[in-house]
Amino acid sequence: MSEGGAANNRGGDKTAKPPGSILFLCGMNAIRSPMAEALARRMLPPGAFIASAGVRAGERDPFVDAVLAEEGLSLGTRQPRRLDELDDAYFDLIVTLAPEAHHAALELTRTAAVEVEYWPMPDPTTATGTREHILGAYRDVLTRLKARIASRFGA
């Protein structure tokens, strides 16, 4: 487990094999974690088990669908889900994308040998202005996630 230590410094190691199972965790599984899940499914080897969840219940965000469609990705019929709704809560790596999710992951893994990495991502729902300006904030998060996944997993 790491709150910012050695696990976060492995970002440039392109020789590291991706973990067998990865959970992306954020506040409500409505924006950042489903984006990360969709990107990782495309970017990582097909044998990796990739999931996402939130600490609290959330609702599907139409801006997420719009920016994923621009990338040729889709969530399909998938709806946000909470961490406690997962069939299996054991993962080789939990990537947290918001402070609340990071604290929940550290509590969940206190007695487990699970690596936890914190990748703080901005919350695009704070963007104001035109629809295009708001979409720009969502695109920024997607771009950051894509770069972080590529850097961390050599994808």
Report percent pLDDT > 70 for the chain: 88
Residues in Cβ contact with 23 at an 8 Å cutoff, skipping those fewer than 6 apart: 51, 52, 53, 86, 91, 93, 94, 95
Domains of the chain by residue range: 18-149
Taking CA 24 as the corner, what is the angle to CA 66 and CA 92, rounded to the nearest 5 degrees?
150
Q: For the full predicted model, state whether its pTM sits above 0.75.
A: yes
User: Which pLDDT belongs to residue 88?
Assistant: 76
Please state which of the four CATH numbers 3.10.310.30, 3.40.50.2300, 3.30.565.10, 3.40.190.10 is assigned to the domain occupying 18-149.
3.40.50.2300
Whether 61 contacts 11, CB under 8 Å? no
pLDDT tens sequence across 123-138:
999 999 999 999 999 9
Tally Cβ neighbours within 10 Å of residue 1.
15
